[in-house]
Amino acid sequence: MRDRPLAGIYLPLPSFSNITVRNTCIMMENESGQQDSIRIGISQGDVNGISYEIIMKTLSDNRLLEFFTPVVYGSSKVASYHKKMLNVRDFNFHVIRQLDQAVPGKANLLNVFQEEIKIDLGQTTPAGGMAAFRSLELATDDLDKGLIDALVTAPINKQNIQHKDFNFPGHTEYLTKKFGAEESLMLMVSNETRIGVITGHIPLREVPEKISRERIMRKLNILNHSLKEDFGIQRPRIALMGLNPHAGDKGVIGREEEQIIIPTIQEAFDKGILVFGPYPADGFFGSASFNHFDGILCMYHDQGLIPFKTLSFKSGVNFTAGLPVVRTSPAHGTAFDLAGKDSASPDAFREAIYLAIDVVKNRRMHQEISANRLGAVQDQDGGDGD
């Protein structure tokens, strides 16, 4: 009989290990023996922040260009402006006007702006928001058409980008609607740590009313599927946090754990999802218990992102799970205070590139394995093997 969580009892941390498939910068070969090509689109983000700095610092390492073909959706004039302030003198974009002109092994920049863009470093301006949205819109259109394999988004300012075509609190919500997904999951990734949140960019006072068995179950399904398909983990282990301090302390500090969260854990476990909890977030992260799990699901934004950014502020990546396309982003903002100072770290942006490559490869591998398995079943049944 399979072990299952018991109502009102915190499960001990699982001690069994799992093998995670990681494909960072390991090139797969197709049937012809040639390396697969991955084309990654990069939206420019806010031109008044550090976006161009972290993009150019990342792409100036030619070794990275052996593994994918980058296409920045931006402006060569804006790039030249930022380059003058950076120590990347030997770096140059290969400027193109059409996507089919992109050259493997080069840092391509697709000129999507013919007009002048006013730059006010460190400031939030309408022009910066307009330019950020136009870059994002054109990149997502090409992603939707399959012309690029993944999208890495540079940071935007959530205030100046708002207008009739972008009435969203962030990239995640925009992309979810853009690609017709019923739901998505903001997943913060760093090395083997993956933290998702059940409620995202909403006021804290609205969180309790958004916590329901149905919502938790949907997010668990997305996370479980993503860990398998996007990260290559066959039997992922998921930790679920409680909502209240001490995870409710058996009803003394709130009833959500007893009435909603624990029954959902039991339902998910019965459906084959290896989810454990609910865990009090302070002790869970403070004792490094997160290292025992492949994925962690928190109830609200700061419950997950405070520990994540404390652990991985310089290298964290934001991945949107649940979409039919691959999108990653550095887990930091525009950093207006650092703009033009040549002091921004490209580490998180570089990791976002790596993760995009990983997920594209893992999805291809998953599709190939699934297709082969289906073919084997058909052959055994005497169907299409003749």
User: Tens digits of per-residue pLDDT, 260-271?
Assistant: 999 999 999 999
Residue 201 pLDDT class (50, 70, 90 cuts): confident
CA-nearest of 209, 228, 225, 217 to 18 is 228
CB 44 within 8 A of CB 73: yes
H or E element: which one contains 193?
A: strand 193-197
H or E element: which one contains 297?
A: strand 295-298
Output the pLDDT for position 6: 38
Question: Which residues make beta-bridge pairs with 295?
Answer: 238
- CA-to-CA distance for 201 and 190, rounded, in angstroms? 21
- List, for residues 355-376, the tens digit of each pLDDT value: 999 999 999 998 888 876 655 4
Mean pLDDT of all residues belonging to the chain: 88
Every domain of the chain and the residues it spans: 34-181+323-386, 185-311
Q: Which fold has domain 34-181+323-386?
A: Isopropylmalate Dehydrogenase (3.40.718)
- List, for residues 17-49, the tens digit of each pLDDT value: 333 333 444 344 443 333 458 999 999 999 999
Number of other CB atoms surrounding residue 379 within 10 Å: 12
Output the pLDDT for position 373: 62
Q: Indicate if 185-311 has the same CATH topology as 34-181+323-386.
A: yes
- List, for residues 347-359, the tens digit of each pLDDT value: 999 999 999 999 9
Mean pLDDT score, 243-264? 94
Residue with more model confidence, 6 or 271 = 271
Strands (E), 44-143: 69-74, 94-96, 108-111
Output the pLDDT for position 165: 87
Q: Which fold has domain 185-311?
A: Isopropylmalate Dehydrogenase (3.40.718)
Eight-state DSSP code of residue 148: S
With 60 as the cut, is the pLDDT of residue 16 above it?
Answer: no
CB 46 within 8 A of CB 16: no
With 70 as the cut, is the pLDDT of residue 7 above it?
Answer: no
CB 325 within 8 A of CB 41: no
